[in-house]
């Protein structure tokens, strides 16, 4: 019973040993070799103990022993196959772990190299970008400075042209002003001369006018005296003419008793002249008969 129990215990523990061996295969590669050796030794020891347990049980029933021996052999074969599979799996795991480690090492090395390359590229690109930016800034600065200098030169040229034109205009204006001042000075001198001449002429004219006025006044006074004398003489002549006309009219009136025959023998213009000498008004609008009557009445009134 003791041997049988130990055999069963060994058979029961074999799957767990294989599971332990497989679980160790997924651990780091450094522990794979130790796990493989330990699992091999443990499996062999357990196989020896299982065989010993079977042999110990054999005297107690041939049928039961044969069955159990076949089962034990089958179990041992299965355990051996499982051990070999576990060993193969462990070896493959070790190889894959080594490969994975190598891949990891290569990957780390590649990543490190890539990091260095990328860092170098980043630094290079940053340096290139900085250089390009500095070059662009330098070009922009140069272009801006050149453009500014060109614009300043153009503006200075325009200012110089405007200044030159303004100075030319100012010089021409100054020359014109000097000419105008000189002309005005000459004209002023001429005006003064003419004014002096005009003043002298006006003074002379005034003196001549005064003299002429005195002379004219004297002549007018003399003419007035002469006119009064002529007026008086004309008045005397008029009165004499009236008297003569009246006398003539009276004389003409004596030729006939009614005094009409003598006046009627004159024509109208003669009667108008006679009426004028007598001083009859409205004579030019009178008929011949009216003139005769007016002259006859005037001559009678004179008597």
Neighbouring C-alpha atoms within 13 Å toward the C-beta of 267: 1
d(CA 106, CA 277): 173
pLDDT tens for each residue of 193-238: 998 888 888 888 888 888 888 888 888 788 777 777 777 766 766 6
In terms of Cα–Cα distance, which of 255, 257, 234, 247 is closest to 278? Answer: 247
Which CATH architecture fits 255-302? Orthogonal Bundle (1.10)
pLDDT tens for each residue of 21-60: 545 544 544 444 555 556 556 656 665 665 555 455 444 4
Tell me what pLDDT residue 84 has.
85
Assess whether pLDDT exceeds 50 at residue 258.
Answer: no
d(CA 20, CA 303): 206
pLDDT tens for each residue of 108-154: 888 988 888 998 988 898 888 888 888 888 888 888 989 888 998 99
Cβ(274)–Cβ(248) below 8 Å: yes
The stretch 235-242 carries a mean pLDDT of 66
Question: pTM of the predicted model, to two decimals?
Answer: 0.28
């Amino acid at each position: 019973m003791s041997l049988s129990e130990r055999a069963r215990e060994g058979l029961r523990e074999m799957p767990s040993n294989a599971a332990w061996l497989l679980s160790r295969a997924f651990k780091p590669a450094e522990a794979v070799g130790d796990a493989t050796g330990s699992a091999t030794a443990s499996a062999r020891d357990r196989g020896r103990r299982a065989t010993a347990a079977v042999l110990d049980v054999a005297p107690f029933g041939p049928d039961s022993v044969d069955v159990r021996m076949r089962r034990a052999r089958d179990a041992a074969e299965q355990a051996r196959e499982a051990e070999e599979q576990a060993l193969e799996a462990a070896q493959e795991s070790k190889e894959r772990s080594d490969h994975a480690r190598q891949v990891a090492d290569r990957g780390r090395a590649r990543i490190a190299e890539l990091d260095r390359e990328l860092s170098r590229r980043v630094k290079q690109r940053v340096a290139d970008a900085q250089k390009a930016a500095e070059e662009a800034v330098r070009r922009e600065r140069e272009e801006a400075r050149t453009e500014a200098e060109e614009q300043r030169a153009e503006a200075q040229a325009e200012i110089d042209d405007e200044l030159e034109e303004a100075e030319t205009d100012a010089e021409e204006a100054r020359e014109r002003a000097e000419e105008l001042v000189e002309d005005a000075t000459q004209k002023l001198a001429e005006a003064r001369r003419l004014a002096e001449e005009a003043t002298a002429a006006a003074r002379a004219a005034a003196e001549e006018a005064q003299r002429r006025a005195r002379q004219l006044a004297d002549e007018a006074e003399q003419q007035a005296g002469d006119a009064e004398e002529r007026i008086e003489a004309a008045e005397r002549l008029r009165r004499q003419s009236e008297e003569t006309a009246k006398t003539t009219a009276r004389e003409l009136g004596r030729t006939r008793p009614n005094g009409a025959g003598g006046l009627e023998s004159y024509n109208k213009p003669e009667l108008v002249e006679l009426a004028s000498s007598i001083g009859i008004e409205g004579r030019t609008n009178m008929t011949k008969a009216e003139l005769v009557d007016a002259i006859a009445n005037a001559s009678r009134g004179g008597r």
